[in-house]
Amino acid sequence: NAGVTQTPKFQVLKTGQSMTLQCAQDMNHNSMYWYRQDPGMGLRLIYYSASEGTTDKGEVPNGYNVSRLNKREFSLRLESAAPSQTSVYFCASSGTGGVGYTFGSGTRLTVV
Amino acid sequence: GQQLNQSPQSMFIQEGEDVSMNCTSSSIFNTWLWYKQDPGEGPVLLIALYKAGELTSNGRLTAQFGITRKDSFLNISASIPSDVGIYFCAVMNYGGSQGNLIFGKGTKLSVKP
């Protein structure tokens, strides 16, 4: 009963490095989301994918790209990491007609 | 975009105390949700509210959907140490740059030193 799985759990990057955060869900959900969480800022939506083959920008998309690889997987890419991208990143998914989202356990990213 | 205002931002609890927090909006929403985030984990859905005036319980947690559909309250009775964490309110709001859910900034519960 995995739900939403995120990898890695922790990552340290140097400024300018690139990396991809992975997310997979096994609930056959149509929609998937990437959030970042910073102290005092709550959860801010970076990108989302309403269904396989579509992606849309959220509130804070700058510096990120996403790929909805298939119905299960939704990845988030940082092309050139910056210290301002130090944050905890959460992936979530939701199903048609379902209430609320199911979240992964997060990736804690530090950019030095 | 739309905003939800949660208060208080943080509070300290002593075991056995009752806790109250609320969430308000300037717009009407028809579905209100409460999530809890344990330290180091993602948020988990606690309670969903669908009808104005509705009062729903989940164990020691009770949430109410305001009659104006612009607010909601969460109460925790007889708090215990495992209640610590961040509580988020959220509303269903399909589409837009905030996706299908708008979240408040959270109320952080900590144990009183």
Question: What is the percentage of chain B residues whose pLDDT exceeds 70?
Answer: 94
A40 vs B contacts (CB less than 8 Å):
9, 105
Question: Bigger pLDDT: A55 or B101?
Answer: A55
The predicted structure's pLDDT at residue A104: 96
CB contact (8 A) between residue B100 and residue A103? no
CB contact under 8 A, A94 and B100: yes
Q: Is the previous residue joined to B113 through a cis bond, with omega within 30 degrees of 0? A: no
Judged against a pLDDT cut of 80, whether residue B99 lies above it is answered with no
Q: How sure is the predictor about B8, in pLDDT bands with cuts at 50, 70 and 90?
A: very high
Closest CA to B100 of B41, B33, B21, B24: B33
**With bands split at pLDDT 50, 70 and 90, how would you rate the model's confidence at B25?**
very high
Tell me: pLDDT of B106 over 60. Answer: yes
pLDDT digits over A61-73, tens only?
999 999 998 999 9
Chain B positions touching A2 (Cβ under 8 A) are none
pLDDT of A74 strictly over 80: yes
- Span B59-98, pLDDT tens digits: 999 999 999 999 999 999 999 999 999 999 999 876 655 5
**pLDDT given for residue A49 in this prediction:** 93
**DSSP state letters, B6-35:** EE-SEEEE-TT--EEEEEEESS--S-EEEE
Interface check for A33 against chain B (CB to CB < 8 A): the answer is yes
Instruction: Please report the sign of the dihedral spanned by the C-alpha atoms of residue B94, residue B95, residue B100, residue B106.
Output: negative
Among B33, B42, B45, beta carbon nearest to A106: B42
> Which is more confidently placed, A17 or A59?
A17
Q: Which residues on chain B are in Cβ contact (under 8 Å) with A59?
A: 1, 97-98
Of the candidates A95, A109, A110, A103, the one whose C-alpha atom is nearest the C-alpha of residue A4 is A103
Average pLDDT in chain B: 91
Between A and B, how many residue pairs show a Cβ–Cβ distance under 8 A?
57
Q: What is the mean pLDDT of residues B42-60?
A: 94
- A6-53 confidence digits (pLDDT tens): 999 999 999 999 999 999 999 999 999 999 999 888 899 999 998 888
Q: Do B99 and A48 count as a contact with CB atoms less than 8 A apart? A: yes
